[in-house]
Structure 1
Amino acid sequence: MNKPTPKLFTDKTVLFLFFTAGIGLSIRFFYDDEPQKLSHLFLSWLALGSSSTIAFWFVEKIHDIKVDRDDKNTE
């Protein structure tokens, strides 16, 4: 029997990595001690939004690749 090799980047790990990066960047921009609080709030929102968008994009790409492989295996 062939054992499947464990994959390093699954859907959950990609989501976790990008969400934690976005949360870390948003906290860093929000709690910076400079007077431009409104711009830092915008940067924190931008960091969190872009990281979550990238994470969902990667998950969709991974899912599309899995569906394509399953379709090829059934033919």
Structure 2
Amino acid sequence: MNIRFRLLAAVPAVLLLAACGNKGPLVMPQKPVPVEQTLPAPEEPAGEAPPPAGAPEDRADEPAQAPPATPEPAGGPNG
């Protein structure tokens, strides 16, 4: 084969291969995914911070509660 024939065969092959791929608007655009926006936390007034909920001094004036009774299995003693 001569060089001229190889060159004439290589140019269309290179152009064809260069056209392949995921370029431009060849791909259908995806639908946008809705993004949930979080609201900023409300600002607390400057000054003394409130004690955390469940602090020992908060529970001192509350009566002690008995632990809940554990229920028996529904099937009875034989399961």
Q: Same fold (TM over 0.5)?
A: no
Higher relative contact order, chain-length normalized (CA < 8 Å, sep 6+):
1
- TM-score of the superposition, structure 2-length normalised? 0.31
Which structure has the highest helix share of the two? 1
